[in-house]
Amino acid sequence: MAEAVSYTEKLKKWDRFEAEKFSKKAPVTTPYPFIDIEKPPEYRGIPHINPEKCIGCGACVNACPPDALIMEWDKEHGIKRLTYNAARCIRCARCIEVCPTGAMEPTTRFEIATDNKEDLVEVVEHKLAYCEECGEYLDFTERQIEYVKAILPKEIFEMYALDERIGLTQEAKMRKTVEKLRETEGIPVSAFMLVGEVKDKKGGEK
């Protein structure tokens, strides 16, 4: 990790067309598998999922044209599985563009030949968030919730009472809303009030 030069500097320095390399006559072939082939820094190799950064949002899965990235839910065990299959990958790097956290990392690796198919597959498993109220797993991962908490402005949080509601399943949320609706029956409130803090009103009523 002793790379002091920045990426752009590296780009400028890297020169395949150096005089001695380019004007070299015969032979131009290289004993390829036995030597490392030169790749420019811009080279778009297969991507790599950084499990530390990945939050399991599935943006990459939506963008991937050839279905190299697949998302699976295992609600029983509370696991969301993101699978990357290099054999299907067309190296378009769309996933890298759309990844919100930079977990999809570009590499310059292109040799994926192997005698074991499993070498081509990268699996990242995420823990699904657990809804205390109904005892079921959510569609989202714990990290997704953390991420949302980290990026959303506080006002929105307060407005929609997300602190309480974010860890709930869809049904629980609906149930809560309905409950609140009942509580506020007859009082005209705007939609976000239904989910937000209605303490004041409640208090007023009392």
Shortest Å, Cβ 90 to another protein: 6
Beta-carbon contacts of residue 121 (< 8 Å; ≥ 6 apart): 83, 84, 85, 86
Residue 98's alpha-carbon distances to 49, 52, 61, 104, in angstroms, are 13, 17, 10, 9
Residue closest to 137 by CA, chosen among 128, 146, 145: 128
CA end-to-end distance (rounded Å), the chain:
64
Residue 26 makes contact with another protein by CB under 8 A: yes
Judged by CB under 8 A, does residue 174 bind another protein?
Answer: no
Residue 99 contacts another protein per CB under 8 A: no
What minimum distance in Å lies between the beta carbon of 113 and another protein?
A: 17
Binding track, positions 39-58, relative to another protein; x by CB under 8 A: xx-xxx--------------
Q: Is 100 in the site for another protein (CB under 8 A)?
A: no
The DSSP call for residue 115 is S
Q: Give yes or no for residue 63 binding another protein (CB under 8 A).
A: yes
79-98: which residues touch another protein (CB under 8 A)?
A: 90-94, 97
Number of residues that bind another protein (CB under 8 A): 27
CB of 72 to another protein, least distance (A): 17
d(CA 70, CA 79): 14
112 binds another protein (CB under 8 A): no
